[in-house]
């Protein structure tokens, strides 16, 4: 088989072998429903309790503050819609950043149709939310502030602690989508000062279709998935025992190896960034130079389309993302880049490379070479980019 290189770890990651091994017995040996009042049920309860304890310990929460969900999307929906519903008598104003994941933005748009007012916080050219902008946006009827811990497209790490302090001063619920940060950055809910936080198993080498919503005890948030007595009556649906066991194991491994992984992946990223700058003219690194996720390098290649680059890289066996996986397929430029003030033409030529612990320097070097040649070839064909007598001229 041809060589394949995966540089799309922000979209999803492979399940680690140790994680899969830990999950397997819970499919067909210890298969009980934790809600059942018998030995099979009790064995399942034990596994889920252990997973809950592990996760709680790693984010400095109480086990009773950990709620299992079907993933980041459900957790984000729950935090936003559940708070909006629970506190609707108090006010109908919500504040979120303009660069949130579609799981937040689409939910906010729907809530607007239901009569809520949403302020979408601007970001600066690096994708950073200014805590002072949050303070200015607060009104007497504000009931929710949601800013992601780190952005999935450009990797910018947001000042959550500072924003949460402002939220607390005003007694407003503070939520952070930590899906990209979990397993990569230290997340201590007490230190961050957040009331709610979401994350998802498949972004840190765990399984898909499972996530967490941390809800600080005492916080009022209505259920969105109503059903049985699961998750202390707050989230119906038969407990996904193997996925929960796998997510907790993956989270434990990611946290235990956090510094070492960050060092390794940052080195790959820097090698890649430096290589691209050395070989490719007219390229911009999106996001913040240092306040960024270790794995993320997001570039705008001027005069060409991201889709074209992605297609050629895919032919060469390199898997990347243009904009974000969620918005690819649409011809709209990334809402994140537009919010950062990147012109639409430039935003169109953007590619996200996200590295993982399974990548190597050789893969990075190969990719630099392929990217450089691909960009040169596409620019030669681009109507936006002219070559005259060997001299490059941009029109
Ligand atoms: C992937 C992602 C989500 C969605 O998580 P799923 O588990 O895939 O539903 C939400 N927010 C961010 C920042 C993400 O990167």
Give the pLDDT of residue 325. 44
Judge contact between 359 and 47, C-beta under 8 A.
no
CA of 42 to the centre of ligand 1 (A): 31
Give the pLDDT of residue 3. 80
Give the pLDDT of residue 82. 98
> Which residue has a Cα nearest atom 10 of ligand 1?
72
Among 97, 107, 177, say which to mutate for ligand 1: greatest number of ligand atoms within 8 Å of CB: 177
Atom of ligand 1 minimally distant from the CA of 203: 1
346's tokens:
């430039």
Helix axes 39-58, 241-256, angle to 10 degrees: 30
CA of 73 to the centre of ligand 1 (A): 6
Which residue out of 219, 326, 338, 372 is catalytically annotated?
A: 326
CA gap 25, 36 in Å, rounded: 18
Closest CA to 272 of 361, 152, 358, 153: 361
* Three-state DSSP class for residue 100: coil
Q: Is 345 exposed, middle or buried (0-12, 13-18, 19+ CB in 10 A)?
A: middle
CA atoms within a 13 Å half-sphere pointing along the CA-CB vector of 169: 12
Q: Is 99 exposed, middle or buried (0-12, 13-18, 19+ CB in 10 A)?
A: buried
Q: What is the pLDDT of residues 132-157, one digit of tens each?
A: 999 999 999 999 999 999 999 999 99
CATH of domain 17-256: 3.40.640.10
Residue with tokens 């050629």: 312
Predicted TM-score of the model (pTM): 0.95
CA of 388 to the centre of ligand 1 (A): 46
Closest CA to 149 of 158, 140, 141: 158
> Per DSSP, which regions of the chain are E strands?
5-6, 66-69, 93-97, 117-121, 142-146, 173-177, 196-200, 211-215, 283-286, 296-301, 318-319, 350-354, 385-388, 391-394
pLDDT in tens, the chain (395 residues): 468 999 999 999 999 999 999 999 999 999 999 999 999 999 999 999 999 999 999 999 999 999 999 999 999 999 999 999 999 999 999 999 999 999 999 999 999 999 999 999 999 999 999 999 999 999 999 999 999 999 999 999 999 999 999 999 999 999 999 999 999 999 999 999 999 999 999 999 999 999 999 999 999 999 999 999 999 999 999 999 999 999 999 999 999 999 999 999 999 999 999 999 999 999 999 999 999 999 999 999 999 999 999 999 999 999 999 964 445 555 688 999 999 999 998 999 999 999 999 999 999 999 999 999 999 999 999 877 765 444 454 44
How far does the chain reach from its first CA to its final CA, in angstroms? 42
Q: Where are the domains of the chain?
A: 5-13+258-393, 17-256
Topology of domain 5-13+258-393, per CATH?
3.90.1150
Atom of ligand 1 minimally distant from the CA of 151: 13
281's tokens:
């003219």
Give the pLDDT of residue 163. 98
State the CB neighbour count (10 A cutoff) for residue 190.
Answer: 10
Atom of ligand 1 minimally distant from the CA of 324: 15
Give the pLDDT of residue 387. 52
Pocket-forming residues, ligand 1, beta carbon under 6 Å = 71-73, 76, 101, 103, 148, 152, 177, 179-180, 200, 203, 211
Q: Is 156 exposed, middle or buried (0-12, 13-18, 19+ CB in 10 A)?
A: buried
Rg (CA), the chain: 22
CA of 336 to the centre of ligand 1 (A): 15
CA-based diameter of the chain, in Å?
A: 81
326 is catalytic: yes
């Amino acid at each position: 088989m041809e060589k394949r290189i995966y540089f799309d770890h922000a979209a999803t990651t492979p399940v680690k072998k140790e994680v899969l091994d830990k999950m397997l017995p819970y499919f067909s040996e210890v298969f009980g429903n934790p809600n059942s009042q018998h030995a099979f049920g009790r064995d399942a309860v034990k596994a889920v309790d252990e997973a809950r304890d592990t996760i709680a310990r790693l984010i400095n929460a109480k086990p009773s503050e950990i709620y299992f969900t079907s993933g980041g999307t459900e957790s984000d929906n729950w935090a936003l819609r559940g708070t909006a519903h629970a506190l609707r008598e108090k006010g109908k104003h919500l504040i979120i950043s303009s660069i949130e994941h579609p799981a937040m933005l689409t939910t906010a748009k729907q809530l607007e149709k239901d009569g809520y007012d949403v302020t979408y916080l601007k970001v600066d050219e690096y994708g950073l939310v200014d805590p002072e902008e949050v303070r200015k946006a607060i009104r007497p009827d504000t009931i929710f502030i949601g800013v992601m811990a780190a952005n999935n497209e450009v990797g910018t790490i947001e000042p959550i602690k500072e924003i949460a302090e402002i939220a607390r001063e005003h007694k407003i619920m503070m939520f952070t989508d930590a899906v990209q940060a979990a397993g990569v950055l230290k997340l201590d809910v007490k230190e961050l000062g957040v009331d709610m936080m979401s994350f998802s198993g498949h972004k840190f080498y765990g399984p898909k279709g499972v996530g967490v919503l941390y809800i600080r005890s005492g916080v009022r948030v209505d259920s969105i998935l109503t059903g049985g007595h699961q998750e202390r009556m707050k989230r119906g649906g038969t407990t996904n025992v193997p996925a929960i066991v796998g997510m907790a194991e993956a989270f434990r491994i990611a946290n235990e190896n956090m510094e070492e992984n960050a060092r390794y992946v940052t080195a790959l990223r820097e090698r890649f960034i430096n290589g691209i700058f050395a070989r490719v003219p007219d390229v911009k690194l999106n996001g913040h130079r240092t306040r960024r996720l270790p794995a993320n390098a997001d570039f705008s290649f001027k005069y060409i389309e991201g889709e074209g680059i992605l297609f050629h890289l895919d032919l060469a066996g390199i898997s990347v993302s243009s904009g974000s996986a969620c918005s690819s397929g649409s011809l709209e430029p990334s809402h994140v880049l537009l919010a950062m003030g990147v012109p639409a033409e430039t935003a169109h030529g953007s590619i996200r490379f996200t590295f993982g612990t399974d990548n190597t320097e050789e893969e990075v070097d190969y990719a630099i070479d392929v990217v450089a040649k691909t960009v040169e070839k596409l620019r030669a064909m681009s109507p936006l980019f002219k070559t005259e007598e060997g001299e490059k001229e941009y029109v």
